[in-house]
Chain A
């Protein structure tokens, strides 16, 4: 082994460039194992699959054969297994502990859901198989639709949207189509509260609307007077999350719905926080015209490190005719899938995606709903709200709640309790990592300074919440006691120290390139 001028092996410095530690020969530390990229490990002549040998007959590719090397490395099965298992161990997960990301509803993911979604009759069927060979799948979609319509008290649901933001797009496109059908060419302004998810304004713009922000009042809810001042004959509608992103129920929601309707607009409700009210409140009773439902939040289909999700969107009578294809419809002979606009009633605004939606998520969500039943779903939302309020009650004396009173399913704090400590919300969050927790949502909603949004969900126990609150109490006290260095250095017990996000954005490296090519650049 080569030694450097200090007599230490040079290998150790090289460890850093592949993500390892510099103070061990291997780059690993105990169970924290360093793992390079597959491109640094695999070879293009290696493979982890056994396939029959091709015959080598002449191709019929019209002369478009791929002759140049692709450059894809392969690993034998045991190598691939180790590579990905080692990497998996560098992830925090709901199965490892509390994951209190506000607005994300990180609840337990039952494995029965996974088992059901993998039944060959549901997983191994093709979207373009003849319909007579997939009647059970269409029935499952119908059953899911029935649950979603009943829970929301709405007459129609579009199942195809592939995630929450896609559901928003579905809802807002229906609003645009309804306005166009009424010949309304002026209504292009959509009211969006300041506290909204970023997807709301981004979605409105994709439907040809402009957005107009409504401020929050002192209680964290829509400022009703400000809203009234913004109404007019150019208003297309409102996009409102309820419960809102401050974790509060919009207590004037029916008035808001009436105001919007009286002014000729539609009410889009962002259903990201539906988990707080499932089984207790039906959004249709609140006057909404459209709402997406995140199956990957409320109905516990796993988030998979960023997706896939599923965002079925329910519609009121006014918007139902504009729902996109495909649709599932109940007939006297059972459920039927309608694929073409020409075969659908009303005026579908178009198609959101190639096929029928996220069937894998439908199977999981229906399994979850059947397991809970109407009674269990109600209990789940009650426990979610109870858990959040318990955290609020336990921490309100050491941290600073953003608003007075109780909350719904998530508790929002601001950073006033960190004033003059030199510790920021980011530092505080990173210190939670050293205590074995995933941090809460940081700096969102934007209406609160240094926001910390904590959503425990219903699947946490009281003793687990007590431990979590003890830790946050202790951290708050440590920050106030001037233990600043500990926060700024955090995390020190994670698989990496704090990562430099500025450098990543300033000098983007978005893929691996062979060392020789990198040197030439």
Chain B
């Protein structure tokens, strides 16, 4: 086996040194009944070439986003990632390092995490950020738990336009923690009477912007209503590129801001790995209740600046059952990809990229709404919007597949049994002029 350096002679010599006759003697603690005679019923080892053929065959049955006019979003977005990013994250020193528990030989990871935390704080307009969560949805759940700890209250209100998978993930996380999570009914036309549900018992109100339908929300009225009752506002986003063009949650007064970072530096990967961004206000009580790892600045014995993991008394490996979260492994390498891509973009590139996304989406919205019977439901949006179709959207999406176009996500796939005529469509800088016309033409044909 090509990954195993021991030779049969090595094994014999080592068993002799240990003082046992055979490898079986090292497994004698295993109960007799649980000892397998031969091997499990699975195929034997393969050569590199054979494995490559096998996996490539599976891959070839899928339709990559880059191979077709592609407009699928709803929580993950197709963007171009500079080749420098993938090269750098494959550096052995980044790829094959563990969590930076020995800071003196992990400064590469720690300094990039410190850069990541700063970039996330700047992007979201918040004061501090942690070193990443698994993804946006789990970050959202953890934010609700944190808000409950900070406010010592046990009710959370979720806007009806929060991505339903985020809502479900949050409800699942809170299910046994005695936090009562209430979702407003699904709606694509704004926040409705969301603020009416905020009471003196509300820990937090969760609003996504741009929301799952693509609509943007001014958080200021929500922040005012929530703060009047002593509740916190958690702002959620699924498209980080939007923050290059849209006012940040921090500027609008949000207390905690969480989101999906995949859109910057990380590919689609069929849903994972992604990178959860988690930022909040600079408040002692907030920081003490943050989930996840934090990189912090310090000095070494010679007075030189260096970075370490810090405030770990919040974390499970120290605090055990009193920890703020059970998270250990996070999304380090995806955070690195995010940071490198963001460094390449800089403010100038990010703003330009965001604008291109928005302009492409505006162009597409105009083209699609010129198809008879199609109506735009979201009067404000960034790079994703919702359409009302004259037919059920699920069937339309399937018909579009036949025309070679991946034309968005039917809202009914996210909200089963509801919004059957609503189609959620995303456009990014990767969509060409030809893609837009192909989509418009195909839509016209299938309606």
Q: Determine the chain A residues whose CB is within 8 A of the CB of B189 once the complex forms.
A: none
Residue of A nearest to B293 (CB): A306
Instruction: List chain B residues, Cβ under 8 A from A22.
Output: 302-304
What number of B residues sit within 8 Å (CB to CB) of A? 208
**Given A202-B320, A208-B177, do A374 and B97 touch, yes or no (CB 8 Å)?**
no
Which among B97, B175, B302 has the greatest number of chain A C-beta atoms within 10 A?
A: B97
Interface core residue of A42, A203, A304, A356 (most chain B CB under 10 Å): A304
Give residues of chain B (312-340) contacting chain A, Cβ–Cβ below 8 Å: 312-313, 315-323, 325-334, 336, 340
> Which residue of B26, B295, B300 is within 8 Å of A385 (Cβ)?
B26
Q: With A51-B349, A198-B316, A462-B14 as known contacts, state yes or no: A127 contacts B308, CB within 8 Å.
A: no
Whether the Cβ atoms of A119 and B59 lie closer than 8 Å is: yes
- Kindly provide the distance from the CB of A128 to the nearest chain B CB, expressed in whole angstroms: 5
A95 on the B face (CB < 8 A): yes
In the bound complex, do residue B332 and residue A134 qualify as a contact, i.e. CB atoms below 8 Å apart?
no
Of the listed stretches A56-64, A222-230, A417-425, A479-487, chain B binds A56-64
Residue B21 at the chain A interface, CB threshold 8 Å: no
Contact A70 B347 (CB under 8 A): yes
Supposing A47-B344, A60-B362, A354-B165 touch, asked if A120 and B67 sit within 8 A by C-beta, the answer is yes
- When distances are taken between beta carbons in the complex, the residues of chain A under 8 Å from B305 are 16-19
Shortest beta-carbon distance from B313 to chain A in Å: 8
Task: Decide if B268 touches A123 in the complex (CB within 8 Å).
Answer: yes
A449 at the interface (CB under 8 A from B): no
Measured in the bound complex, the distance between the Cα atoms of B122 and A308 in whole Å is 24
A64 & B134 in contact (Cβ 8 Å cutoff): no
Answer yes or no: B192 CB below 8 A from chain A CBs: no
Enumerate chain B residues within 8 angstroms of A286, measured Cβ to Cβ. 31, 34
Of the listed stretches A2-10, A260-268, A313-321, A508-516, chain B binds: A508-516
- Within the complex, what minimum Cβ distance (angstroms) separates B228 from chain A? 22
Known contacts: A122-B270, A127-B76, A199-B316. The answer to whether A80 contacts B343 by CB under 8 A is yes
Which of A19, A56, A206 is close to B173, meaning CB atoms less than 8 Å apart? Answer: A206
How long is the Cα–Cα vector from A493 to B58 in the complex, in angstroms? 47
Roughly how many angstroms separate A250 CA and B34 CA in the complex, as a whole number?
A: 13
- Please give the distance in Å from B204's CB to the nearest CB on chain A: 18
Known: A60-B380, A499-B104. A38 touches B115 (CB 8 A): yes
Distance between A411 CB and nearest chain B CB, rounded to angstroms: 11
Smallest beta-carbon distance B367→chain A, Å: 14
Q: Which residues from A are CB-within-8-Å of B293?
A: 306
A77 touches B344 (CB 8 A): yes
Interface assignment of B128: CB less than 8 Å from any CB of chain A: yes
Cβ-defined contact, B302 with A497, below 8 A: yes
* Most central of A47, A112, A350 by chain B CB within 10 Å: A47
Chain A residue contacts of B348, Cβ below 8 A: 44-47, 74
Query: Is the Cβ of B104 less than 8 Å from the Cβ of A498?
Result: yes
Q: State whether B108 touches A89 (Cβ < 8 A).
A: yes
Q: Which residue of B lies closest to A209 (CB)?
A: B176
Instruction: Evaluate contact between B98 and A363: CB separation under 8 angstroms.
Output: no
Q: Decide if A60 touches B379 in the complex (CB within 8 Å).
A: yes
Given known A46-B346, A104-B98, contact A499–B298 (CB-CB < 8 A) = yes
> Are B45 and A71 in touch, CB under 8 angstroms?
no
Q: Is A312 an interface residue (CB 8 A)?
A: no
A contact residues around B18 at 8 Å (CB): 386, 389-390, 392-393, 406
In the complex, whether B439 has a CB less than 8 A from a CB of chain A is no
- Whole-angstrom distance between the alpha carbons of A16 and B304 in the complex? 4
Query: Cβ of B31 and Cβ of A253 under 8 Å apart?
Result: yes
Contacts known (A45-B348, A83-B343, A85-B91); A128 close to B413, Cβ less than 8 A: yes
Q: Given A90-B107, A104-B98, does the pair A354, B166 have CB atoms closer than 8 Å?
A: yes
Q: How far is the CA of A419 from the CA of B216 in the complex (A)?
A: 64
Q: B239: CB under 8 A from chain A?
A: no
- 11 further A-B contacts with Cβ under 8 Å, apart from A57-B362, A370-B43, are A22-B303, A112-B52, A121-B62, A168-B326, A199-B316, A206-B177, A280-B36, A306-B293, A355-B165, A460-B5, A510-B296
4 closest Cβ contacts across the A-B interface?
Answer: A74-B346, A355-B271, A304-B333, A121-B59
